[in-house]
Amino acid sequence: MQTLRKMMQPYGGLPPAAFCLTKAEGMRDRETNSHEKRVSRMAEALCRELGVAAEVCGQVASAALLHDIGKFAIPLNVLRKTTPLTQEEIALLKTHSAKGYELLSSSGDAFLNMAAELAWAHHERYDGTGYPRKLKGDAIPLGARILTVCDVYDALRQDRPYRLGIPHSQAMDVILVGDGRTRPEHFAPDVLAALRSIANELKSIYDTAS
């Protein structure tokens, strides 16, 4: 299986178009791009823990580098706002998953089509309360079920313009126990079990990449 470093090299694993997209995103919004790189590594680790085939692990990790690419369609003043978002701004931000699908699925490339599906579904929740389509259970692609929990973990730990991130142990409690907004029912049970098993590895990924 190719390493993440190899995947990030031009033509070394990511299709050229995907490499250019993630590079351009880094130029526009470094924080989102850094988040995607960490989520990619976490998703690869979770895939391995779940016993997913090495080739599929690599595909999910590569696709994770583009899961927030739809934020290209969100104004930077919304992404970087230092006060809580309004309801209208939250609704606008939530369009990024569908915008990512629209962007990635338009090329006809097989890898980008797969990445498009994961971008579209990474905010779906296992209990059907996510967005944009309210998919439930195994109707959510496996890669997206993995990305969802990695995305939440990294977002909880990451400093945002309007709030500070939280420590590893607290982030794990939010995911595994719940805090009112996030509940264990939002995530696939097998993915949660794998997350618990490799909690220290996820912490290391975040801490060494930050």
Domain boundary assignment for the chain? 4-209
Q: What is the pLDDT of residue 191?
A: 98
Mean pLDDT of the chain: 91
**CATH topology assigned to domain 4-209:** Hypothetical protein af1432 (1.10.3210)
- Confidence category of residue 101, pLDDT binned at 50, 70, 90: very high
- Confidence category of residue 210, pLDDT binned at 50, 70, 90: low
- Confidence category of residue 26, pLDDT binned at 50, 70, 90: confident
Q: Is residue 101 within 8 Å of residue 120, measured between CB atoms?
A: yes
- Confidence category of residue 12, pLDDT binned at 50, 70, 90: very low
pLDDT at residue 7 tops 70: no
The mean pLDDT value for 1-19 works out to 54
Q: Residue for token digits 């797969």?
A: 114
The mean pLDDT value for 96-117 works out to 93
The mean pLDDT value for 45-58 works out to 95
Q: What is the pLDDT of residue 4?
A: 41
Determine what percent of the chain is predicted with pLDDT higher than 90: 77
Spatial separation of the C-alpha atoms in residues 171 and 149, rounded to whole Å: 11
Spatial separation of the C-alpha atoms in residues 207 and 146, rounded to whole Å: 20
Spatial separation of the C-alpha atoms in residues 15 and 107, rounded to whole Å: 12
The DSSP bridge partners found for residue 148 are none
Kindly report whether the peptide bond that precedes residue 84 is cis, defined as omega within 30 degrees of 0.
no
Spatial separation of the C-alpha atoms in residues 135 and 3, rounded to whole Å: 31
CA-closest candidate to residue 45, choices 147, 168, 157: 147
> DSSP state, 7?
H
Q: What is the pLDDT of residue 129?
A: 97
Q: Two tokens at 99?
A: 């915008």
- Confidence category of residue 10, pLDDT binned at 50, 70, 90: very low
Cβ neighbours around 20 below 10 Å, total: 12
Out of 78-87, 113-122, 184-193, least confident range: 78-87
Q: What is the pLDDT of residue 13?
A: 63
Start-end of H helices in 50-188 = 54-64, 76-79, 87-93, 96-104, 110-121, 142-157, 168-176
The mean pLDDT value for 82-109 works out to 93
The mean pLDDT value for 103-132 works out to 94
CA dihedral 84, 90, 95, 97 (to 10 degrees): 60
Q: Residue for token digits 């290209």?
A: 72
Q: What is the pLDDT of residue 21?
A: 86
